[in-house]
Amino acid sequence: MLDKALEWYQHHNLRDAALDLFPEETLQAELKAYNKRKAKERHEAREKELKDVLEQCKKQFPIGTIMWSDEGSDHCPNIVISEPYIGKSDWHIPYGVYSYGERDTKTVLAETVRISRNKPFQKDYIGLETCLRDMLRDDNLKRNRIINLDEFHKQEIEKRDSELSELQKNVNRIKKDLQKYQEEMFSLKIYNPLELTQEYIQEIVKQYT
C-alpha cells in the first residue's frame, strides 16, 4: 500500500488520495528510497527485455537483410552488415521505452550500409528494436520494414520510368528552345548594320513607292 501511495504522491491529480493513506512526512521520508528502488527495478527489467529482443532480432534480421530505416525519413535501402547487438543510442530507441532524462538509453542496433541506385555510399546504423516493434504492432501503424525485393523492383522500375519520361519531356523542350536560339543566333550573325547605306535606302524607297 505504501508503494502505491508513493506512486500517487508524485502525480498532481492523485496526491490527495496518497495523503488520505499516509501522512506527508512518511511519504517524504520514503520517497527517495522508493524512487531509487523503482529505477533499479526498471533497469533490471529493461536489461532482461533487451536480451530477449536481441535474440528475436538475430532471428529476424540476419546479416544481408535489406530493409528501410527505422526512422522513416530515409528513402534509401539499408543492408544489414553486422550481427544485431545491444548498444547506446540517442536516435534509434523506440518511443516510450525510457523516461525523459534517462541517460542509459540502450536498444538493439545493427550496422548497415545505405545504397542508392544499387551503389553503396554510406555506413550507418539501424534500430532493430524499433523495426521489430513496428512489425509486431496490431494497429494501423503496423509496418514491415524488411524490403520485399519483388515489390521493390516493381516500384523502382515504375519510379525510374516515370522520372525518365519527365526528363525526356524536359529534353524535348530544351531541344525546341535550342533550335529557336540557334535560329536567332544565325539571324544575328548574318545581320550587318553597315549594309544600311543611303544607296540601299533609295532602293527600298523605289521598290515600295
Name the 3-class secondary structure at 135. helix
Tell me: pLDDT of 30 over 80.
Answer: no
* 172 and 143 belong to one structural domain: no
% of residues, the chain, pLDDT over 90: 63
* pLDDT for position 6: 77
* pLDDT for position 17: 80
Whether residue 193 is contained in a domain is answered as yes
Last residue of some domain: 101, 121, 147?
Answer: 147
What is the rounded CA–CA span in Å between residue 103 and residue 89?
10
Kindly report which listed range (14-18, 68-72, 130-134, 135-139) carries the lowest average pLDDT score. Answer: 14-18
User: Which one, of 40, 34, 42, lies nearest residue 3 by Cα?
Assistant: 34
* pLDDT for position 206: 94
Tell me: pLDDT of 181 over 90.
Answer: yes
Kindly report which listed range (16-25, 35-44, 183-192) carries the lowest average pLDDT score. Answer: 16-25
Q: Name the pTM for this structure.
A: 0.73
* 170 and 90 belong to one structural domain: no
Whether residue 152 is contained in a domain is answered as no
For the residues 27-45, what does the mean pLDDT come to?
80
CB contact set of 89 (below 8 Å; sequence gap of 6+): 105, 106, 107, 109, 125, 127
What is the rounded CA–CA span in Å between residue 15 and residue 6?
9
* 132 and 177 belong to one structural domain: no
For the residues 152-174, what does the mean pLDDT come to?
97
Q: Domain count of the chain?
A: 2
What is the rounded CA–CA span in Å between residue 40 and residue 165?
60
What is the rounded CA–CA span in Å between residue 105 and residue 99?
9
Tell me: pLDDT of 60 over 90.
Answer: yes
Tell me: pLDDT of 124 over 80.
Answer: yes
Kindly report which listed range (25-29, 64-68, 137-141) carries the lowest average pLDDT score. Answer: 25-29
For the residues 142-154, what does the mean pLDDT come to?
93
* 162 and 132 belong to one structural domain: no
Instruction: Print the domain residue range for 63.
Output: 2-147
* pLDDT for position 120: 95
More confident residue, 84 or 34: 84
Whether residue 75 is contained in a domain is answered as yes
* pLDDT for position 14: 76
Tell me: pLDDT of 156 over 90.
Answer: yes
Last residue of some domain: 110, 125, 147?
Answer: 147
